[in-house]
């Protein structure tokens, strides 16, 4: 089981990547999706993080990414990856007690449970489940858009959580409950 302290702060790992305790939102961990205004398919998620979490190691990593990319001379209008939950307070799970960031990658992230076992069922990693998002900040300068992005490396599921944005998937057996075995496809009305 994770040490209790791991839930209170962003942790820098030996390889320089970061691990943050978060609620998973908008997960595309198993199948890449085309991003807005692009045909490039990426794996992605939003990490909702409590404002109680110590983010100092993340702040340091962002500053280091700025230094690597712009060698001490960052652009004036730099897009910052960490956003206040109040921006999306009309969406479930987002409010003034949290911050969030989006993480993406063209490479498939690893997805594990807290015991290190691989998770292969996408339904296990739903919006609202709790765990650690593993990522790495990097600087970008693309067609006049400059900022710090987060490269998604993995997700470690720790526990269930209240599902965000809707209900659980339908149960096929329940959906088919009142259908007769002798349905004739030729009787379909159109």
Tens of pLDDT, residues 11-49: 999 999 999 999 999 999 999 999 777 889 999 999 999
Instruction: Identify the pLDDT of residue 18.
Output: 96
Asked if the model's pLDDT at residue 143 lies above 90, the reply is: no
| Counted domains in the chain | 1
Band (189; pLDDT cuts 50, 70, 90): low
pLDDT band at 60 (very low <50, low <70, confident <90, very high): very high
Where are the strands (E) in the chain, listed by range? 11-12, 18-34, 41-50, 83-84, 98-105, 110-113, 130-142, 145-159
Tell me the residue range of the domain where 26 lies: 4-187
Q: What is the pLDDT of residues 160-188, one digit of tens each?
A: 999 997 655 566 776 666 666 666 666 65
- Which tokens in the block code for residue 165? 């944005």
CB atoms within 10 A of CB 85: 19
Q: What's residue 161's pLDDT?
A: 93
CATH of the domain at 143: 2.40.50.140
Q: Taking all residues of the chain, what is their mean pLDDT, rounded to a whole number?
A: 89
């Amino acid at each position: 089981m994770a040490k209790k302290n791991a839930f209170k702060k962003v942790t820098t790992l030996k390889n320089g990547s970061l691990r943050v305790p978060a609620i998973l939102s908008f997960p595309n961990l198993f199948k890449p999706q085309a991003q807005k205004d692009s045909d490039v398919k990426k794996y992605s998620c939003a990490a909702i993080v409590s404002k109680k979490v110590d983010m100092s190691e993340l702040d340091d990593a962002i500053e280091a990414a700025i230094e690597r990319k712009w060698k001490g001379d960052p652009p004036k209008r730099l897009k910052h990856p960490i956003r206040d939950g109040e921006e999306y307070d009309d969406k479930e799970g987002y409010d003034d007690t949290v911050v969030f960031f989006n993480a993406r990658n063209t490479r498939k992230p690893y997805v594990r449970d807290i015991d290190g076992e691989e998770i292969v069922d996408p339904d296990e990693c739903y919006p609202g489940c709790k765990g650690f998002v593993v990522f790495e900040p990097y600087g970008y300068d693309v067609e006049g858009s400059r900022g710090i992005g987060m490269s998604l490396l993995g997700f470690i599921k720790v526990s269930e959580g209240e599902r965000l944005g809707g209900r659980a998937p339908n149960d096929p057996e329940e959906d088919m409950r009142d259908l007769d075995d002798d349905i004739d496809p030729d009787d379909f009305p159109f």
